C-alpha cells in the first residue's frame, strides 16, 4: 500500500469530532513510530508546522525539539507568537534563534529575486544544521508536509524539505498530516487548541517578506513593509475580509516618488496592496474591496508608516500576473 496516497475511504475532516478521532489515531501512530527517541522539527510558525508541532507535543511532549529560526523576514509579531504559543502555553522544548542580522547582511545589495530566494533558503538550512549538530540523540525529523505537497511534486517541495542536513545524519521522517488538505489541517489545529490567528493564517512564502520587499532589501524599507502589512491585515480582519479573501499582502518596490507631508515635499516608497481569491493557486481572481476601506487603509499607512507616501491596488489576475511579485 502506498503510504503517500490518501485512501479513497478517508473521510474529509470537517468537524471537531472527526479531528479528535484523527488526532487520537496519529498520537498512537507517532508513539509507535518514535518510541522513546527524540524528534526534530523546523517550526516556522506557519499553519502546517504549527499543527504538526502541537500534535507531536501531545504525543511525545519534550521528546520533540522545535527549532524556530527568525530570519528577519517574518511578518509583524510572528516570531513572538511562536514563542508565546509553544514555549509559554504548550511548554514545548523550543530553541529560538534570532538570525536577523545574519540573513540581512547576506542579502545586502542583492536585487535578483531568484538569488534572494537561494540565499534565504540556503542560509536557513545552514542555521538549522548548526542547531541540529549541537543536539544529541535525534533520530527523527518531523515535517509539515501536507497532501497537496505530495500531489504537486511526487515528494516534498524543495522549500518544505530541509535538504541540507549532513549525510551522516540520516533521520527517519515523521509526517503526521501528510494525507490532509489545508482546510483539514486547520480543523485539526483548532481541535488541538491552537489560536485562530495561527491556524487561519494565510499562505506565506518560505522567503517571507524577502519576496515582498522588491529588489535589494534595505532595513528601513523592510521595516516600512512590515508595518504597512500589519495595518492591511488588521483592517481586513476588522472588516471581516479575512474570512472571504484567500490571500492579501503588501509589496514595497525599490522606487520613490514625490509626496507632500507637513507642507513639505518629500520622497517615499509606494505600498502595493495585493488581494486575491483562488481555489488552487494555479489561477487567481481579484477581490473587489470597498473603496471606503481602501481609503481608510491608505490613510493609516501613509500617516503611520515612516517612508511610505502612496498606496496602490494591484488589479492583475493570474494568469497574467503571479500571486507574488517576485
Q: What is the pLDDT of residues 95-136, one digit of tens each?
A: 999 999 999 999 999 999 999 999 999 999 899 889 888 988
Claim to verify: residue 260 and residue 137 sit in the same structural domain: no
Claim to verify: residue 87 and residue 169 sit in the same structural domain: yes
Within a domain: residue 206?
no
Helix intervals (H) in the chain: 16-34, 47-60, 78-82, 100-107, 113-134, 147-153, 182-191, 196-199, 219-238, 291-304
Within a domain: residue 204?
no
Let me know: does 100 contact 217? Beta carbons within 8 Å: no
Claim to verify: residue 263 and residue 143 sit in the same structural domain: no
Q: What is the pLDDT of residues 224-278, one digit of tens each?
A: 999 999 999 999 999 999 989 989 999 999 999 999 888 889 899 999 999 999 8
Q: What is the pLDDT of residues 144-161, one digit of tens each?
A: 999 888 887 654 444 444
Quote the domain boundaries for residue 122: 16-199
Claim to verify: residue 75 and residue 178 sit in the same structural domain: yes
Residue that terminates a domain, selected from 168, 199, 230: 199
Q: How far is C-alpha 2 from the chain's CA centre?
A: 29
Cβ neighbours of 237 (radius 10 Å): 13
Claim to verify: residue 167 and residue 263 sit in the same structural domain: no
For the chain, report the end-to-end CA distance as a whole number of angstroms.
Answer: 40
Residue that terminates a domain, selected from 199, 232, 264: 199
Claim to verify: residue 220 and residue 252 sit in the same structural domain: yes
Within a domain: residue 300?
yes
Claim to verify: residue 124 and residue 55 sit in the same structural domain: yes
Residue that terminates a domain, selected from 199, 233, 260: 199
Claim to verify: residue 253 and residue 183 sit in the same structural domain: no
The CATH number assigned to the domain holding 272 equals: 3.30.300.10
CA distances from 51 to 120, 178, 184, 292, 300 (A): 24, 12, 11, 36, 34
The CATH number assigned to the domain holding 139 equals: 3.40.50.620
Within a domain: residue 225?
yes
- How many folded domains does the chain comprise? 2
Strands 93-98 and 285-286: unpaired
Q: pTM of the entire structure?
A: 0.86
Amino acid at each position: 500500500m502506498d503510504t503517500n496516497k490518501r485512501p479513497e475511504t478517508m473521510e474529509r475532516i470537517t468537524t471537531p469530532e472527526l479531528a479528535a478521532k484523527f488526532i487520537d489515531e496519529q498520537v498512537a501512530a507517532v508513539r509507535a513510530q518514535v518510541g522513546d527517541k527524540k524528534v526534530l522539527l523546523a517550526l516556522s510558525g506557519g499553519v502546517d508546522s504549527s499543527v504538526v508541532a502541537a500534535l507531536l507535543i501531545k504525543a511525545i511532549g519534550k521528546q520533540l525539539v522545535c527549532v524556530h529560526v527568525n530570519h528577519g523576514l517574518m511578518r509583524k509579531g510572528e516570531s513572538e507568537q511562536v514563542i508565546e504559543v509553544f514555549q509559554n502555553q504548550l511548554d514545548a522544548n523550543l530553541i529560538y534563534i534570532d538570525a536577523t542580522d545574519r540573513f540581512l547582511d547576506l542579502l545586502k545589495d542583492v536585487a535578483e529575486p531568484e538569488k534572494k530566494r537561494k540565499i534565504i533558503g540556503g542560509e536557513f538550512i545552514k542555521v538549522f544544521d548548526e542547531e541540529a549538530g549541537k543536539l544529541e540523540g535525534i533520530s527523527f525529523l518531523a515535517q509539515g508536509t501536507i497532501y497537496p505537497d505530495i500531489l504537486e511534486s511526487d515528494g516534498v517541495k524543495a522549500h518544505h524539505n530541509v535538504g541540507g542536513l549532513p549525510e551522516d545524519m540520516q533521520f527517519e521522517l515523521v509526517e503526521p498530516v501528510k494525507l490532509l488538505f489545508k482546510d483539514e489541517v486547520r480543523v485539526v489545529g483548532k481541535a488541538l487548541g491552537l489560536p485562530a490567528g495561527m491556524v487561519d493564517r494565510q499562505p506565506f512564502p518560505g522567503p517571507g517578506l524577502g519576496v515582498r520587499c522588491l529588489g535589494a532589501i534595505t532595513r528601513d524599507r523592510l521595516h516600512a513593509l512590515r508595518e504597512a502589512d500589519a495595518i492591511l491585515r488588521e483592517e481586513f480582519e476588522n472588516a471581516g475580509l479575512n474570512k472571504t479573501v484567500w490571500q492579501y499582502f503588501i509589496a514595497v518596490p525599490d522606487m520613490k516618488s514625490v509626496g507632500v507631508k507637513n507642507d513639505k515635499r518629500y520622497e517615499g516608497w509606494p505600498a502595493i496592496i495585493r488581494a486575491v481569491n483562488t481555489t488552487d493557486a494555479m489561477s487567481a481572481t481579484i477581490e473587489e474591496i470597498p473603496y471606503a476601506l481602501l481609503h481608510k487603509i491608505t490613510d493609516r499607512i501613509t500617516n503611520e508608516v515612516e517612508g511610505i507616501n502612496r498606496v496602490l491596488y494591484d488589479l492583475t489576475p493570474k494568469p497574467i500576473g503571479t500571486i507574488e511579485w517576485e
